[in-house]
Amino acid sequence: MISLKGICKHYYMGEVVINALDGIDLSIERGEFISIMGPSGSGKSTLLNILGVLDQPTEGTYLLEDVDITDLGDRELARIRNRHFGFIFQSYNLFPELSALENVMVPLAYAGRPKSERIKRAKELLKMVDMSHRLKHFPNQLSGGEQQRVAIARALANQPTLLLADEPTGNLASDQSEEIMQLLCKLNQQGTTIVIVTHDPHIGSFGRRLIRLQDGRIISDAPIEQSRQDERRLGT
């Protein structure tokens, strides 16, 4: 589904070059659930932003379903984002002036869907994440876990190819974190491809494939069970 080849991302601070990503080769197959872990500054969020075309690489090639999208313009990239990707953020990023229902309708409006269709689809998604009883509530009337459920429903609005989650449980209590991860697992079992960035080993263990980054490079990429065995063998 996705193939990254030789992806680099450089930032410049005066004459100093910061290599946020340094030669990333990565393939993602449809239906996978991938956890990306690594210390602060390892490039996790930068990689997620490039996967979701929120940012563009300095070097390398990005193939989406065998189509090279590396050098496309902003308008075409925006269309690809809306069509192919759903995003979940640590801070939820809901519009405070919109109800739960209206928040989920936003990406459908960008996609040009008729209002009646937007309402129907948003209600279906909120029901799927157990938020039917909060349709008219605003974000400040919802708990953190409820806001994240609304954010997940919104991310799924246009049936994305890939769901990208950046520390989706970072602001939640442990019981709410568990509920959100169980929901993501259920979505994956139903066929949604998921990539999650986290610093929490417990959250990372929900994935089926674990990628570890360090200094902008992939230092390991293996099924989660193999990663656990390697950690036990190395005593980490």
Sequence-ordered list of residues with C-beta below 8 angstroms from that of 134, at least 6 positions apart, any chain = 100, 126, 141, 142, 146, 150
pLDDT tens digits, 7-37: 999 988 888 888 999 999 999 999 999 999 9
**pTM of the entire structure?**
0.88
Query: Does residue 138 belong to any structural domain of this protein?
Result: yes
Query: Does residue 208 belong to any structural domain of this protein?
Result: yes
The pLDDT of residue 104 is 96
The pLDDT of residue 227 is 58
Query: Does residue 101 belong to any structural domain of this protein?
Result: yes
The pLDDT of residue 111 is 87
User: How far from 70 is each of 84, 116, 142, CA to CA, in Å?
Assistant: 15, 36, 39
Query: Does residue 107 belong to any structural domain of this protein?
Result: yes
Query: Does residue 14 belong to any structural domain of this protein?
Result: no
Query: Does residue 5 belong to any structural domain of this protein?
Result: no
Structure tokens at 200: 């929490």
Q: Is the pLDDT of residue 4 over 70?
A: yes
Q: Is the pLDDT of residue 82 over 90?
A: no
The pLDDT of residue 38 is 93
pLDDT tens digits, 84-143: 999 999 889 999 999 999 999 999 998 889 999 999 999 999 999 999 999 999 999 999
Q: How many domains does the chain have?
A: 1
The CATH number assigned to the domain holding 136 equals 3.40.50.300
> What range does the domain containing 123 cover?
30-56+73-234
For 68-82, 98-112, 215-229, which range has the lowest pLDDT when averaged over its residues?
Answer: 215-229
Q: Quote the mean pLDDT of the chain.
A: 92
Euclidean distance between CA atoms 97 and 104, whole angstroms? 13
Query: Does residue 7 belong to any structural domain of this protein?
Result: no
State the sign of the Cα–Cα–Cα–Cα dihedral 210, 158, 76, 17: negative
Q: Are the C-beta atoms of residues 95 and 154 closer than 8 Å to each other?
A: no
Query: Does residue 20 belong to any structural domain of this protein?
Result: no
Euclidean distance between CA atoms 206 and 6, whole angstroms? 28
